Structure 1
Amino acid sequence: MTPVRAVQEHLAAFDDQVALHLERLWEGVAQGPDAAALRAALDDAVSGGKRFRPRLLAAVHASLGGSRDDATVAQTAAAVELLHTAFVVHDDVIDADDVRRGRASVPGRFRSAALRKGVTASRAATYALAGGVLTGDLALSAAFRAIATLPESAEIRTQVLDLVTRASSASAAGELTDVRLSLGVDRPTTDAALALAEGKTAAYSFVLPMELGATLAGAEADVVAAVREAGRLLGIAFQLYDDLAGVFGDPAETGKSNLADLREGKSTLMIVHARQTSSWPFMEAAWGDAALTEERAAAVRAVLERCGSRAYVEAVASEHLEAGIAQARSAGLTVDVLEWLVTLPARPAVGAA
């Protein structure tokens, strides 16, 4: 069986595994209106998306000659997707984002539900916070339940649990770093900005699924290490392209705001570079301005173009992407899988300033 065919078969069982573990969250639980609200929010949060983490896990497993059955691969992939869902929901709570991919986020749907009842904005904010935190926690519970019930030996379950735990801790630390840097007190270096991209995104979106795929395939330690490094490089590239989309992207195409990062004062690599140019004084007043208008943002984008910050980040992202592909090839991933990896951290559609 070719790796591509094997991936297709593993993923065919993926959605069933996600649905199964979401359903098991509610076994024996009284189904009142609040349980129904949380259940609906989580079901909606898990739906949609590109599913590239499950596909990446299955692709690496198949490419390295793995022979685990569909149940194990699909259930592990479901755990990774549920973990991703938890992080996304909590991220929306932290950033107070009411919209994700063009529709209401989890906290956004709870806020809207409260406002429809005529409560104050303050009380609606509390309800949005509670709904978001609790929904994200339930996604985490489902993820770890999926791991605990893998149809494998205790040794394999422990290996999977260790990898997921490590990725969760790295991502949590990366998220807090992102928030701390947005306070505007610390001035990160280039290395610190890249480390942030590694901790916040690469650790669980690329390293984790790729490392899990290699581990389930029974790969040797040196191969797993090579796959881990490929995931690190690809994950950094993905985050850098995402940062570009967060400023220059068309929201209709990327599904994310092109004002939020500037308004929140995100200390991305692009901002780190811009601070080192003579153009920074013009941009400094706009960076972190919660009331930043589209007109001022357009002016900032134009300056980021002229001072070379956008081009710099595009170059660094491209270098990491190419290095990640080369590393994946050296780890033994097949051509078919590599062709898919090339498009995985897709360059966002970004328009001129």
Structure 2
Amino acid sequence: MLETFLHDGGALAADLDPDYAQLWRSMGRASRGGKRFRPALVTGAYQALGGHDLALAQHVGDAIELLHTGFVMHDDVIDRDEIRRGELNVSGTFAHRALASGARADKAELLGQTAGILAGDLALVGATRMMALAPTGPETVRRLLDLLERAVQVTAAGELADVRFSLDLGDPTLGEVLTMAEHKTAVYSFELPLQAAAVLAGAPQEISGRLSEVGRMVGIAFQLVDDLLGVFGDEEVTGKSTVTDLREGKVTPLIAYARTTACWATIAHDVGDPHLTAERARHVRDVLESCGARSAIEDLATDYVSTALSVTANLPVPERFRAWIADMTATAVQRAA
């Protein structure tokens, strides 16, 4: 369904305007290359809960993946990023094309941001339409749309909080930063796929509700690991810079914890320095380890996983589902996307 959406949209765009056709081509590139673990969550959980209509689960999984694509394109605009997975993203593609044509830098940036916003809008509308056209009964579709709407609302709140924290108007607590991570990532990336799978499989409301909790716990653990990789990971393995988050001064749980320690004063001027050198970044990492921030966040991720597995152990679900959750959880936190 995702490829059909991109093909049909691109075909219509080709009849309207060359730049608009380029927008759809850029969207197509933006939707490729990821791990697509969200559709895998939907189909995996659906089958583990006893569902047999794999095409239906894949349809809903594609809708959630398109939702993710829209969020990513908007997020790149918010962060003023032009690169995604080592390539120019939608905003970067249009900005660089404008520069190459002789446009002023500020005008080229405006075009890039505009393209990113419009592409994200198209993806979000497409995800909603795709969910609404899921080949199942009207009551099931209504429940899916309710889940989708809530995920969008909560994610928007998380994104807004993330940007607010970057204003340096105060020091958010570790709890506040964890809530932001839950809202911005965990709800739509983990809670939504698991709940959608339960709805499609006809699981009781109680199970759907508990899977919401499981999804949040795993999603937060996933984000904690992702934040750790953003500072301590092997760049050749993860493809993530270990300096970018520090230069941007992102208020991650790792940083929120470090701010509560006596060591913070020795690195406060480095975190958020856009010119942070590799040598100073190594110093920051050393301090984050010596003050216990790294181990604290690693332990926290482990605790969230343990809670998720504990909730699952008490659910009246097939044993194969518990095994699937355990395997999925281990995979998710070993290498965050």
TM-score, reference length from structure 1: 0.89
Paired with 1:343 and 1:271, the residues of 2 have a C-alpha distance of 25
> Cα offset for 1:348?
4.1
Amino acid at match of 2:7: E
Contact 1:106–1:132 (CA<8 Å) still a contact in 2? Answer: yes
> Cα offset for 1:89?
1.0
Q: Which residue in 1 is equivalent to 2:78?
A: 94
Paired with 1:180 and 1:342, the residues of 2 have a C-alpha distance of 30
Match of 1:344 among 314, 331, 335: 331
Deviation digits for residues 89-124 of structure 1 (CA, Å, limit 9, x no counterpart): 111111111222222222222222222223222112
Match of 1:55 among 28, 33, 40: 40
Q: Which residue in 1 is equivalent to 2:6?
A: 22
Q: Which residue in 1 is equivalent to 2:211?
A: 227
Deviation digits for residues 319-349 of structure 1 (CA, Å, limit 9, x no counterpart): 1122223323433262541343133323349
**1:63-78 superposed matches below 5 A:** 63-67=48-52, 69-78=53-62
Match of 1:249 among 218, 233, 239: 233
Paired with 1:110 and 1:303, the residues of 2 have a C-alpha distance of 40
| Alignment RMSD | 1.7
Match of 2:30 among 39, 45, 49: 45
Amino acid at match of 1:119: A
TM-score, reference length from structure 2: 0.93
Q: Which residue in 2 is equivalent to 1:299?
A: 283
Paired with 1:199 and 1:28, the residues of 2 have a C-alpha distance of 35
Q: Which residue in 1 is equivalent to 2:174?
A: 190
Deviation digits for residues 189-222 of structure 1 (CA, Å, limit 9, x no counterpart): 1211211111011100000000000111111111
> In the alignment, does 2:283 pair up with 1:283?
no
Residue ranges of structure 2 left out of the alignment (5+ in a row)? none
> In the alignment, does 2:127 pair up with 1:143?
yes
Match of 2:19 among 16, 22, 34: 34
> Cα offset for 1:36?
1.5
Paired with 1:62 and 1:231, the residues of 2 have a C-alpha distance of 17
Contact 1:100–1:255 (CA<8 Å) still a contact in 2? Answer: no
Paired with 1:329 and 1:100, the residues of 2 have a C-alpha distance of 38
Q: Which residue in 1 is equivalent to 2:140?
A: 156
Contact 2:77–2:116 (CA<8 Å) still a contact in 1? Answer: yes
What SS is found at the alignment partner of 2:334? coil
Contact 1:241–1:347 (CA<8 Å) still a contact in 2? Answer: yes
> Cα offset for 1:84?
0.5
Contact 2:232–2:242 (CA<8 Å) still a contact in 1? Answer: yes
What SS is found at the alignment partner of 1:208? helix
Paired with 1:28 and 1:36, the residues of 2 have a C-alpha distance of 8
Paired with 1:300 and 1:208, the residues of 2 have a C-alpha distance of 36
Q: Identity percentage over the alignment?
A: 42
Contact 1:184–1:265 (CA<8 Å) still a contact in 2? Answer: no
Deviation digits for residues 221-261 of structure 1 (CA, Å, limit 9, x no counterpart): 11111111110100000000011111112333222222222
Paired with 1:154 and 1:178, the residues of 2 have a C-alpha distance of 36
Match of 2:297 among 304, 308, 313: 313
Paired with 1:52 and 1:64, the residues of 2 have a C-alpha distance of 18
> Cα offset for 1:26?
4.7
Contact 2:5–2:126 (CA<8 Å) still a contact in 1? Answer: yes
Contact 2:42–2:58 (CA<8 Å) still a contact in 1? Answer: no
Which stretch of structure 1 is more off in the superposition, 338-347 or 248-257? 338-347
Deviation digits for residues 25-46 of structure 1 (CA, Å, limit 9, x no counterpart): 3565524211211111110011
Structure 1 202/190 Cα, relative in aligned 2: closer, same or farther at 3 Å?
A: same
> In the alignment, does 2:163 pair up with 1:179?
yes
Paired with 2:204 and 2:33, the residues of 1 have a C-alpha distance of 35
